[in-house]
Amino acid sequence: MRLLIVEDEWLVAQFIADVVQAQNIEILGIAQSYDDATKLIDTLDIDCAIVDINLRGAQHGIDVARYLKTKEIPFLFLTAYKDMDTIQEATDLKPLSYLIKPISKENLIAAFMIVKNHFPDHQQSAKSHPFTVANDGMIMYNGEMLLLSHYERIVLGLLIKNFRCVVSRETFFEHLWNCPDDINEGTLRNTILKLRKKLNIEIENVRNVGYIFTKYL
């Protein structure tokens, strides 16, 4: 997925870029005003945009969103505004999501987990690694079967299929619920720790959201 960031606070824009790039989302540009945004929209092949409502200049983020709609480009709103009139005007444009500042890493990741459902081919393009999941659930590394426990195969299988994308805790539990033992946060956490140690892979904990398989060594 290719993203445009429309945000006039540079530190906020960089924060957004750092977080979403960890989810294998490509940042095509950062615009700080309406004019900057429309120039990038006209010249870049953008899949989605995140737009701050309060921008410098006479025209604000809602104007940018209207322009995006003429190009049929979906968008999220980001704003410090909390008044109902602004929220109503924004929601009338049907954004994919609406985030209130200050935003946390967890909220931003959760929002883009939802957004990526609009781009079903995205996860396929992210699968660049030597792991494969067989039809019977067995895990292969460079063609050789890995010796893993039942829990480890389920957890690692989900992480592989969503390489460099966050897998929510709810998704893990949905797949683990029919295991014979009780499943809880501790079980999931211990399984992740064992996979990190056994396979020397990097699995990042996204607090209050889930886990992301980011790197193999």
Q: Residue 116, Cβ neighbours under 10 Å: how many?
A: 20
With 50 as the cut, is the pLDDT of residue 183 above it? Answer: yes
Looking at domain 126-216, which of 1.10.10.10, 2.40.70.10, 3.40.109.10, 3.90.105.10 is its CATH number? Answer: 1.10.10.10
Q: Which of 142, 157, 138, 144 is nearest to 195 (CA)?
A: 157
**pLDDT by residue (tens digit) across 104-134?**
888 898 888 878 777 755 444 445 678 888 8
For the chain, the domains span 2-122, 126-216
Across 134-155, average pLDDT: 90
The CATH code of domain 2-122 reads 3.40.50.2300
**Polymer length in residues for the chain:** 217
Q: Looking at per-residue confidence, does 65 or 207 come out higher?
A: 65
**pLDDT by residue (tens digit) across 33-87?**
999 999 999 988 899 999 999 888 888 899 999 999 999 999 999 988 767 777 7
2-122 shares its CATH topology with 126-216: no
